Amino acid sequence: MLKQGMSEAVKVTVKSKSAEASHSMRKGLGIQALCLRAKTPIEFDCRKADCGICIVHVINGAENLTEQTPAEKDFLIAMRADPDERLACQCRVLGDVELFVDEF
Binding site for ligand FES (CB under 6 A): 44-47, 49-54, 87, 89
Nearer to ligand FES, 17 or 48 (CB): 48
The least CB distance from residue 3 to ligand FES, in Å, is: 34
Residues 6+ apart with CB under 8 A from 102: 16, 17, 55, 57
Give the shortest CB-2-to-ligand FES separation in angstroms: 30
> Which of left, alpha, beta for 85 (phi over 0: left; psi -120 to 50: alpha)?
beta
Considering the complex, state which of residue 33 and residue 51 has its C-beta at the smaller distance from ligand FES: 51
Nearer to ligand FES, 25 or 55 (CB): 55
Q: Judge whether 12 and 91 are in contact, CB under 8 Å.
A: no
